[in-house]
Amino acid sequence: MKKLLIIISYLLVCPTINAQNSFVGIWEGVQTNMQGYYPNDMQFELTANNEFLLKDRATNTVKYRGTYTASGNTISGKYLETNGSTSSTITFAGTFDAATKKLTCTYGHDASTRLGKWTVSQKSAPTAAASAPANTSYITADDSKYYLQVAKVTLVTGNDNKDKGAELTVKLFPKFDQTVQFLGYWLDNYTGEIKKGEWWTNDLPRAPKFTEATNTLAMYKKYGLVLEIFYSSYGGPFPLTDAWKLDKVLLDLRFINYIGQWHPQFGNVHIEIPGSSLLFNKKTCVLWMYTDGYFKPLAPQIGSSCN
């Protein structure tokens, strides 16, 4: 009887041991819009005391703080995002897929207004021997003093020309988020012909809200760039079989400082983008091309939202 009383007493006073929260740790992957376009590196940490830390992956510093809760294979939370003098609450929710070992979250201002999604994997804890500080020396203080002065695009047409009257739009901007497209370079609705076999070159004009601060070398090194090509032959005298064959895309970028001096290393950057060959038509009309912060081309994406 005494032994039974001791066991009962222990059960009454012993604290409950919670199941381990498997979400605790650092998560890394990509942030995109809801359609999966405009990918950008991202990282966040989920702590054991239910704190959410959204980090700048390049510098490993905390940008925003918030809270989260986890239940089973799902997670939800919120954090305060500050932009200048304005602040807004961002909510997020997602599910962990045990088969792919990926966590997919959507985020936005509320449940009905989602801005994009995160697709991330949990980063394994490094061993003591493998631990090393992040190398941020690639981006220097001087990089913010140089901005993109010239963005020259060359489009090489294959065996099917771009007809006169069909609209061509070309955009180039830092791969930060979709809103930055209004701050970079933007050729809008070019309707001239591009002939078969032609190497068509254009110095892209500045976008309507272009700012030098958004187009510094530091920004492009930190986030990489997006080059978007949009083709449309809707609304013109074009048959349903209308098409334009793009064989190759090249970029030439020039970074200068405010007194006109070229950057010693990135004064003239030439990029030939692999995988940029595409047959544009009424069902395939958008080509997104990306580079990383070293101006190395990444895998392109094709879009079909054409009307």
DSSP string, 163-190: PTT-EEEEEEEESS-GGGGGGSEEEEEE
pLDDT at 10: 33
DSSP letter for 209, please: T
0.85 exceeded by pTM: no
Query: Which fold does the domain 25-122 belong to in CATH?
Result: Lipocalin (2.40.128)
**CB environment 128-143: b (16+ within 10 A), e (fewer):** eeeeeeeeeeebeeeb
Question: Is pLDDT larger for residue 204 or for residue 36?
Answer: 204
**CB-based contact 116:94 (threshold 8 Å):** no
Instruction: Give the range among 131-140, 156-165, 286-295 with minimum mean pLDDT.
Output: 131-140
Q: What is the pLDDT of residues 28-79, one digit of tens each?
A: 888 888 888 878 888 898 988 888 988 876 666 778 889 999 998 999 999 9
Distance CA 199, CA 287 (A): 18
Task: Give the SS3 label for residue 12.
Answer: helix
User: Per DSSP, which regions of 126-258 are E strands?
Assistant: 146-157, 167-174, 185-190, 199-203, 225-232, 244-257
In the chain, where the domains are located: 25-122, 141-298
Answer yes or no: are the C-beta atoms of 148 and 220 closer than 8 Å.
Answer: yes
pLDDT for res 4 = 37
Q: Return the higher-pLDDT residue of 37 and 253.
A: 253
What element of type H or E holds 219? helix 217-223
The pLDDT mean for the chain works out to 82
pLDDT (tens digit per residue) in 216-251: 999 999 999 999 999 987 656 666 667 899 999 999
pLDDT band for position 20 (50/70/90)? low
